[in-house]
Amino acid sequence: MANTKQQRKRVRVAQRQRLENLRYKSSIKTHFRRLKDSVTAGDADTAAQTAKKLTSTIDKAAAKNAIHSNNAARKKSTVARLLAKL
């Protein structure tokens, strides 16, 4: 249990950051699912829009250290490979 005021604040901040990181990871998974669905359906316009949002979200997550930079690069590479299938 936190004993000092600063420790209590760090617990609150860490909890807020954990939730933000979870939001990033969840939205990345959701966009990946939508991208895969649009690629299998052959819808190039929707796939391109989803890929743009996904790449932006991945970059933001990596900038905030929600995911590791190598993980972000790997995910972006997967997005490029999925788009190449169209």
Structure pTM?
0.90
pLDDT, tens only, 6-16: 999 999 999 99
Residue 86: per-residue pLDDT = 86
Q: What is the average pLDDT across 8-33?
A: 97
What percent of the chain shows pLDDT beyond 70? 100
Reply yes or no on whether the pLDDT at 78 is more than 90: yes
- Beta carbons of 25 and 57 less than 8 angstroms apart: no
In the predicted structure, residue 2 carries a pLDDT above the cut 90? no
